[in-house]
Amino acid sequence: MAIQWITGTLRNRKVWSDGLFTLTIHCPGVLEFEPGQFLQVGLPLPEKHLHRPYSVASPHGDDLEFFIVRVENGELTPKLWDLEIGQEIDVSEKATGGFTLSHTPRAKVLWLLGTGTGLAPYIAMLRDPKIWDTYERIVLVHGVRFLADLAYTDELERYSKAYDGRLIFVPVVSRALAAHGFQGRITQAIESGKLEQIAGERICPETSAVMMCGNPQMLDDVEQLLNDRGMRKHRRNEPGHYVVERYW
């Protein structure tokens, strides 16, 4: 089915580090969606309409946020990086995708694992009351290469305080020393037992639901680790323990 486009306007552009940025697009008319779903974002070029899917990093509203990384030699992202405030940008009217709390199992602890811009869907979820009403504790693990890539930390630390420690934020930084959190990769943080030590919770079928999003290698490796612990992918007709969103 042809995508219905809404012409939005770039309201704000926040740069976290070189090539890592958040665009806030004013695009009233996007249909109601659930945090974790994605929209198509794109530009009408003379030769074609160039668009890609992006998780919305904010709940439904007239202004929507997208957390994006500029991919070297990428077709669209260098053009998105160059956009200036006030310029027009197309957003699809209808969101899609099942990486949402409705499709995630209930448990005591919700583990949110994301690399790079795989943080985006979790920001949208944390800004919505549902996650706080559903899970006792939330452990958000953000894997990045450099400290400067740790976006949204002020907001995350605010939630940790506001919700009385129910959110545990664990930065995992592979190429620099993390002041708190873990130095290395998410898989190493799990394998070494350090992540569970920091969180004070176990990743196990009895208490945990896991969402993971971002780099395909991390997803494959973590899936394997979870399977080894007796956890299974959650499916509509076959309840399990974890759900996955692949960006590429």
Ligand X SMILES: Cc1cc2nc3c(=O)[nH]c(=O)nc-3n(C[C@H](O)[C@H](O)[C@H](O)COP(=O)(O)OP(=O)(O)OC[C@H]3O[C@@H](n4cnc5c(N)ncnc54)[C@H](O)[C@@H]3O)c2cc1C
Binding residues (CB under 6 A) for ligand X: these are 38, 52-55, 67-69, 71, 74-77, 97, 116-117, 120, 245, 247-248
Q: Least distance in Å: CB of 117 to ligand X?
A: 4
For residues 188 and 89, the answer to whether their CB atoms sit within 8 Å is: no
Secondary structure class of 148 (helix, strand, coil): helix
Q: Least distance in Å: CB of 219 to ligand X?
A: 12
User: For residue 131, what is the enclosing H or E element?
Assistant: helix 129-134
Tokens standing for 138?
Answer: 């939330």
For residues 209 and 241, the answer to whether their CB atoms sit within 8 Å is: yes
Tokens standing for 159?
Answer: 């939630």
Q: Least distance in Å: CB of 121 to ligand X?
A: 7
> Which one, 75 or 136, has the nearer CB to ligand X?
75
Q: Least distance in Å: CB of 55 to ligand X?
A: 4
Q: Least distance in Å: CB of 173 to ligand X?
A: 16
Q: Which residues contact 219 (CB under 8 A, 6 or more apart)?
A: 212, 213, 244, 246
Give CA–CA dist 144/115, Å, rounded: 6
> Which one, 29 or 216, has the nearer CB to ligand X?
216
Q: Least distance in Å: CB of 71 to ligand X?
A: 4
> Which one, 120 or 203, has the nearer CB to ligand X?
120
- What residue is closest to ligand X based on CB? 74
Q: Which amino acid appears at position 235 of this protein?
A: R
CA-nearest of 238, 224, 192, 23 to 120 is 23
> Which one, 71 or 176, has the nearer CB to ligand X?
71
> Which one, 137 or 142, has the nearer CB to ligand X?
142
Tokens standing for 242?
Answer: 């974890």
For residues 153 and 171, the answer to whether their CB atoms sit within 8 Å is: yes
Give CA–CA dist 107/22, Å, rounded: 31
> Which one, 79 or 194, has the nearer CB to ligand X?
79
